Amino acid sequence: MTCCGLSAPTHDTASAAISSQPLQFEHIWFDSSVCLHTFFERQSRATPKATAIADDDEGVTYALLDTRATQLSCMLQRHLFLSSDDLIAVWMERALGMVVAVLAVHKAGCGYVPISLTFPASRRQYALANSGAVAMLMSTSLQSKTTREDLQLPLLLISRGGEIESMKLTQELVNSFYLPVDVKSSNVAYMCYTSGSTGKPKGIKVEHRNATSVINWWNSLGKLRPGQTL
C-alpha cells in the first residue's frame, strides 16, 4: 500500500514575493460583420482552382463547390417561399453533399438544422417540429429511413456529390433565377439541439457573428496555413 502526504514548505510562505506589476491583457477585436459563407466566397474568388474538399480521394475545387452550392440555393429560392432566418433541416451523411447543402442554405439567407444520422425517428421528428423547419435536404441514401412524418415537409434529395437528383440546372438558368441575398451577421446560421437540463432536447440558435468570432480567434492563433488539410 502506498501512502501520500503533504510535506512542509521549504520557504517561509509569509515572505513569498508577490509581483506588484498589474496583469497584462491583450484585447483583440474581430470583424463581426462577416457571415460564415462569406469566408468561403472570398476564398473561392481568390483561389478558384485550389482544392476545397477531398471526398473519397476526389478533390473538389472552390469554384466547383461554389457552383453547386449556388445551384442548390437557386433551387431553394425558386421552390420555397423563404424569408430571412427561416430554418432548413439538413439530414445528410458526412460527404461533399452536406457541405454543399449548408453553403446553399446560407446563400439563401436561411439557417440550417443539423439532423444527426444517429437520431432515432422520434428525436428527428421533435427537432423538425420544434425548430419550425420549412423544408429538409436529405441524402439519397437515406430514403429508406424516411417516415410518414418526414414527408410532411418539402424534401429535396441531394446526391453524395451535392447535386439535386430530381432536376438539373444549367448555368444559364442559375444566372437567370439566382438572386444573391443580403445576409447579415445577426442572422441565424444554424440551430443545434442539446440534451437539455430537463432531459428534453433544447434548441439553441447560433448567429453568423457568433460562429465567425470563433473562426477569427482560431485564425489569430496562427495554427492554420493555406494548403493544410483538416
What is the DSSP track for the chain? -----PPPPSS-GGG-----SPP--------TT--HHHHHHHHHHH-TTSEEEEETTEEEEHHHHHHHHHHHHHHHHHHS---TT-EEEEE--SSHHHHHHHHHHHHTT-EEEE--TT--HHHHHHHHHHHT-SEEEEEGGGGGG--TTGGGS-EEEE-TTS-BSS----HHHHHHH-------TTSEEEEEEE--TTSS-EEEEEEHHHHHHHHHHHHHTT---TT---
Cell numbers 443539423 correspond to what residue?
A: 114
Predicted local confidence at residue 2, as pLDDT:
46
Per-residue confidence at 135, pLDDT binned at 50, 70, 90?
very high
In tens, the pLDDT along 11-42 reads: 555 555 555 666 554 555 566 778 889 989 99
Predicted local confidence at residue 161, as pLDDT:
86
Predicted local confidence at residue 87, as pLDDT:
96
Mean pLDDT score of the chain:
81
* Mean pLDDT in residue range 142-146: 88
Predicted local confidence at residue 115, as pLDDT:
94
Q: Which of 20-34, 135-149, 186-200 has the lowest mean pLDDT?
A: 20-34
Per-residue confidence at 180, pLDDT binned at 50, 70, 90?
low
CA-CA-CA-CA dihedral for 66, 68, 74, 80, to nearest 10: -120
Predicted local confidence at residue 18, as pLDDT:
56
Radius of gyration of the chain (CA): 23
Taking the CA of residue 135 as centre, how many other CA atoms within 13 Å lie in the half-sphere pointing to its CB?
21
Predicted local confidence at residue 170, as pLDDT:
52
In tens, the pLDDT along 76-117 reads: 888 888 888 899 999 999 999 999 999 999 999 999 999 999
Domain-wise residue ranges, the chain: 33-220
In tens, the pLDDT along 199-211 reads: 788 899 999 998 8
Predicted local confidence at residue 86, as pLDDT:
94
CATH of 33-220, one of 3.40.630.30, 1.10.287.70, 3.40.50.11890, 3.40.50.12780: 3.40.50.12780
Predicted local confidence at residue 22, as pLDDT:
62
Predicted local confidence at residue 151, as pLDDT:
81
